[in-house]
Structure 1
């Protein structure tokens, strides 16, 4: 009994500490990130995008763009896992590992929904041509037929435009990456070096290819990071029931 009690106290301390990190992230983290994003929007984003384009960097390293598609290949996998988990859960008790991945997958979908709301709310144009047009902007907004900042020099925030050309902020790739990376980073210390390297290459590829402005990347990382921390706190809070 004493051992069980000690374990329960340790688990309780772990998830309380995790929720404390979430509160710090939502408080201090929001302020710091907001200031960094504003600094990028006013002084860094446009000069950096121009330099990358004018120097020809964004026409190189095409193979790196596979890292930009993290969201595209992980979310279908997450959906399949969630469905399988729900079916198996109806037949047997859930384990800690299976619950960990289920909550992490749910977190990615929550992140995607929040990300979509922010994209519509801010309505920012992209650094360069957006080839995945949902509808032709020339028809919708002929006076603003921008395909991106480096293409024609137009940079706008148009809230609630709700079309592809105005959905750069925040980066969906970074949202999903951090929503997955944070719980995995906390749960599996041996994975930290691969996660760090993958994240670094992803950030570089987003900036190098002029797929996103730096502030888009920071906003996506923050949003995904907060959801990831919440997911891990939820997982820890159930750990005492899922030790087997």
Structure 2
């Protein structure tokens, strides 16, 4: 008899065989070495942008973008707020665990196991990458474009000082948008480019609104792609059963 309501019973198989082909068959598209090389290439590209592209581009945007366009992109930038995504993913995760444990019939064309795994991938990608972004923001302490246009400051400040407007690198809104896009693209590959296009619009909004420099959004997007694909096999893979257990039982075998 199952004493834990959030642990699937024998009647509710945990092999995730019904979770659909995408989770069970997901494999990382690149080897570990390829990911390292891509990361190095991104770091070099971001460094080059910081030296030669970021500031001229920001100045051009400041001189060229109209107030109407700026306000329109303000609305688009709201899609980079992570709070709503976390709330929805958390709700789906709880429903997935409870539905799986109780053997409910899912009214949508998705198993509760797939629901739990997919929503947990979303939560873990936002959390893990969000922590990386936060550490980089505090340690790099890059001045935002606003400081350049108001005081002529372009560069970095004192690490971990929490000085206002010294947290430009990388862009947290861009990270959240690309994290969501990458996860949804993994779960629904046919719509991958639609999700990535929406995320790219959020990244563009951070540039147009002069909240960030180009290298800030490039790096954030790259971190999201890396974190999402590193975590996906460990959350979606049928050989990993911990995502189908309640959080306080993740480390139990």
TM-score by length of 1: 0.75
SS at match of 2:145: coil
SS at match of 2:153: coil
More helix by share: 1
Unpaired runs of 5+ residues, structure 2, are: 1-20, 104-111, 244-253
TM-score by length of 2: 0.72
Give how far 1:180 is off: 1.8
Aligned equivalent of 1:190: 190
Give how far 1:77 is off: 1.6
Task: Please point out which of 121, 124, 136 is paired with 2:142.
Answer: 124
- How far does the alpha carbon of each residue in 1:201-228 deviate from its partner, in whole angstroms, 9 at most, with x for none? 2122111111110000011001111111
SS at match of 2:165: helix
Aligned equivalent of 2:170: 170
Count of matched residue pairs:
215
Q: What RMSD in Å do the two structures reach over aligned CA positions?
A: 3.3
1:74 paired to 2:92: no
Partner Cα distance (1:199, 1:124) in 2 = 23
1:107 paired to 2:125: yes
- How far does the alpha carbon of each residue in 1:119-171 deviate from its partner, in whole angstroms, 9 at most, with x for none? 0010001012xxxxxxxxxxxxxxxxxxx112222112122222331111000
Native 8 Å contact 1:79 1:105 kept in 2: yes
Partner Cα distance (1:216, 1:43) in 2 = 14
Native 8 Å contact 2:23 2:114 kept in 1: no
Task: Please point out which of 47, 51, 62 is paired with 1:53.
Answer: 62
Unpaired runs of 5+ residues, structure 1, are: 1-9, 129-147
Change (3 A) 1:232 1:174: same
Change (3 A) 1:211 1:14: same
